Structure 1
Amino acid sequence: MQCSRFLVSGFCGVAGLMGVLLPVLAADRPVRPGSFYMSKNLLALQADDIANPGMLWVSDGESLWRQPVGRAQKSCASCHDAADVTMKGVAARYPAVDAESGELFNLEKRINTCRTRHQGAAALAYETDELLALTAYVAHQSRGERVKVHIDGPAAPFYEAGRKRFYTRVGQLNLSCAQCHEANAGRRLRGDTISDGVGSGWPAYRLEWQTLGSLHRRLRACSLGVRARQFDSGSPEYLSLELYLAKRAEDVPVEAPAVRR
């Protein structure tokens, strides 16, 4: 079988990684949240705020929200008051272009920019518990809100860069994001079901990692999986892809902090 005809056989030398194949889902169907592909046990774990391990970071984020930091000795709450009011719906609108710098910001970059601009504090590194906690806390305030990002005006070139990356074959396996998450969502790969590849549940607690992780950590893992270049977390490449994924997942509800296998 030729790789160009069938994606699954397109894995060629690693075709044996695929498990039982399910029918290809209709290309014109709505994009579904990650929870659509989860087992009942994982769904129950995610839905239970006591059992969901990601809620530990949300709890820490609530404490950090009120903690004064930096030269200004200001907390997030000093400017934004109660997060359950002022942050509601924010995660559903990110990534977004920052009006002052013209750069594309995701939640992590917005939090760090607030720290450096307004609090006189150092930026937090990706995958540190502090940044994960603050991001999870802010994202959690939008749980259930529908994703709605802007891709016009200054966001347009970032969106186009992300769209191009989603459909471009990369790595030694010569695969694009779309070949897995668009053409073959619902099929089996090893022990997992391939999802639509949306970011509305992140930061998420991944059982494989035994910790909370950012969407960019997951994107880096995908890059590694197809043996392609891994960009730095927070890189323009992953930020633009994050914007494209958000637009593609328009109207999908925010699930953060999700639980993933």
Structure 2
Amino acid sequence: MNLLVFCCRLLPILVILFGVNSSFALEPAKDTRQSSYQLMTPENQAMQDDPNLNPALFWVMDGHSLWKEKAGKKNVSCASCHGDSAQKMVGVATQFPKVQKGKLQTLEGQINQCRTSQQEAPEFAYESKELLALTTYVATQSKGLPIAIQETPQNKKDLQQGRQFFNERMGQLNLSCAQCHQDRAGLKLGGSLIPQGHPTAYPIYRIEWQTMGSLQRRLRNCMSGVRAKQFEYGSKEMAQLELFLMWRARGMPLETPGVRP
């Protein structure tokens, strides 16, 4: 029997085997990523899920007021340009950080950019009630939508730098983000489970803080914890690290406004 005849006879058998026996089928890799929401107690999960219990809703309401409030020399509001946030802001937060006019911009940075250029108003300070409120309000319009960060020619270098920051040891403790939130995720540190570090719910109301806080505040807390020099609020380095973290969480649903212990 020549080789061609043998292969022709063998092919139908292989098709039957692989088509009928599911044990031969290649299954897609399981997504093992996990929001830190899944590590919370049922009580804390209920606090996030129930609008009547979620304290972040106070910031959402303030953000709604700021959206309509005219400001600056031009005396215009966010709504003057963007209209109905429930329509025009859907999906926006899932795309940040993103490169805008050649600069990597976080959502907070874009809000301040709009204030200075479109309203001719002063920037909101980072971690101010106003910036947190407006950022939370905008992000809430995308709740439940998948994070949509992708690598592009425009953000490639920033994404690579953010990845380097994530894997780079820093501080007197000589630890990296990856060593905790990737290599040791699910283990305990000081009695608490180490999360995977996916930023799916920011800005968050953190019970420890008793207030809202941005992802940048949380990152600075981590840097302080390993005795490292903290990146400045609004810095390029902070935006690059935030970009990588959001890319790492791509496809996961946005939970804003989130609650964390």
Is the TM value for this pair above 0.5? Answer: yes
Structure 1: which amino acid aligns with 2:75? Q
| Counterpart in the other structure of 2:168 | 168
**Offset of residue 29 of structure 1:** 4.6
Residue 169 of structure 1 contacts residue 175 of structure 1 at CA under 8 Å; is this kept in 2? yes
| Counterpart in the other structure of 1:13 | none
**Offset of residue 150 of structure 1:** 2.8
Q: Deviations over 1:22-49 (max 9, x none)?
A: xxxxxx8532222122111110000011
SS at structure 2 position matched to 1:259: strand
**Offset of residue 238 of structure 1:** 1.2
Structure 2: which amino acid aligns with 1:155? N
Q: Which has the larger radius of gyration?
A: 2
| Counterpart in the other structure of 2:119 | 119
Q: Does 1:45 align with 2:47?
A: yes
**Offset of residue 199 of structure 1:** 1.2
Structure 2: which amino acid aligns with 1:167? N
Structure 1: which amino acid aligns with 2:81? C
CA distance in 2, matches of 1:202, 1:120: 27
- Aligned pairs for 1:101-140 (under 5 A) are 102-140=102-140
The count of residues paired between Structure 1 and Structure 2 equals: 233
Structure 2: which amino acid aligns with 1:159? L
CA distance in 2, matches of 1:87, 1:216: 22
- Aligned pairs for 1:124-203 (under 5 A) are 124-203=124-203
SS at structure 2 position matched to 1:222: helix
- Aligned pairs for 1:1-261 (under 5 A) are 29-98=31-100, 100=101, 102-261=102-261
Residue 162 of structure 1 contacts residue 242 of structure 1 at CA under 8 Å; is this kept in 2? yes
Structure 1: which amino acid aligns with 2:193? T
SS at structure 2 position matched to 1:149: coil
**Offset of residue 86 of structure 1:** 0.6
CA distance in 2, matches of 1:78, 1:192: 46
- Identity across the alignment (%): 47
TM-score by length of 1: 0.87
Unaligned runs of 5+ in 1: 1-27
Using CA pairs below 8 Å that are at least 6 residues apart, which structure has the higher relative contact order?
1
Q: Deviations over 1:209-247 (max 9, x none)?
A: 100001000000000011111111111111101000011
| Counterpart in the other structure of 2:8 | none
